[in-house]
Amino acid sequence: MKLAVVGATGMVGRVMLDVLEERNFPISELLLVASERSVGKTMAFKGRDYYVIGLAEAVLRKPDFALFSAGGSTSLEWAPKFAAQGTIVIDNSSAWRMDPEKKLVVPEINSEVITENDLIIANPNCSTIQMVMALAPLHGAYKINRLVISTYQSVTGTGVKAVEQLENEMSGISDNKVYPHPIHMNALPHCDVFEENGYTREEMKLVRETQKILDDRSIAITATAVRIPTSGGHSESVNVEFENDFNLDDVRELLQKTPGVVVQDDPENNVYPMPVTANGKDEVFVGRIRRDGSRPNCLNLWIVSDNLRKGAATNTVQIAEYLLSTKWK
């Protein structure tokens, strides 16, 4: 099993290596791939040092899998070159997510959509992944008509330079800003760029990707995405309107039985999901489960997950694990 990690030196790439090691993914040959400025550097994996190589060399070495986390433009250029060699590409950027010919996959929800002809598979946006993990079983039971979403997203979702901006501002340094305003002791209703409709690209990802993963374009969705000064995970307040009524105990039981979801819902004892406790974990945590009394058949959820793990690296590795269990027996 020859595996390439493209974007290995980046924030998600490093977490991806951690996840591969923790899950003991079977690798006979590991290729660590990055941009030309990183070629020749060394990185450790399972106690061994590996030299970073460039994309052109990696393509020539024909890996079985290429796990991409190197940005959309890099993926658009290079993923087809890997695929042309027979490599299965699992891409963590937004490049292929809404391509009608590419599958957008959360393994616990829709891995069955992958076929033997799919050589480029898209990993959803981090905020979308954690939300649909909780919503998919509820959609199956009660049918979702509408979602109203507010996200509170970690600076790690922007990348290492955003983490540096937060750390610098905490130390009184205001140089090298990634965001248009300070992030320390602030909240920015501005994740990614604004589209013509007045929504940010991050907000529209939640709309478009959720409909694609749940295979239901009839779900009405509106979202507001906010960047906050945390570095351990994303949080979401989600208001769900169902076609059918529900029982709260049944909702909790359904979520408790969902693989990859952990219910933390005991507010009387101050038990509810938080980024600080989700940090470093692969599960999606759901709490503050309560009926919305202002409208019929409405539910409120608070959903938290580590955006670098289940929201990115872990989901990517899980897709590869699924393919191993089916195509590579």
Instruction: Taking residues 101-122, report their average pLDDT.
Output: 96
CATH superfamily label, 127-307? Dihydrodipicolinate Reductase; domain 2 (3.30.360.10)
Give this prediction's pTM: 0.96
Q: Do 104 and 212 touch, CB atoms closer than 8 A?
A: yes
Cα three-residue angle 217-218-222, rounded to 5 degrees:
85
The CATH code of the domain at 2-124+312-326 is 3.40.50.720
Q: What's the confidence (pLDDT) of residue 152?
A: 98
**pLDDT for the residue numbered 145:** 98
- Out of 139, 191, 234, 298, pick the active-site residue: 234
Residue 33 pLDDT > 90, yes or no? yes
**Cα angle 311, 317, 321; round to 5:** 135
- Assess whether 126 carries a catalytic annotation: yes
Catalytic residue among 126, 139, 191, 298: 126
Average pLDDT over residues 207-226: 98
Q: Where are the domains of the chain?
A: 2-124+312-326, 127-307
- Mean pLDDT within 10-21: 97
pLDDT the model gives residue 329: 45
Domains 2-124+312-326 and 127-307 share a fold: no
Cα distance between residue 295 and residue 145, in whole Å:
13
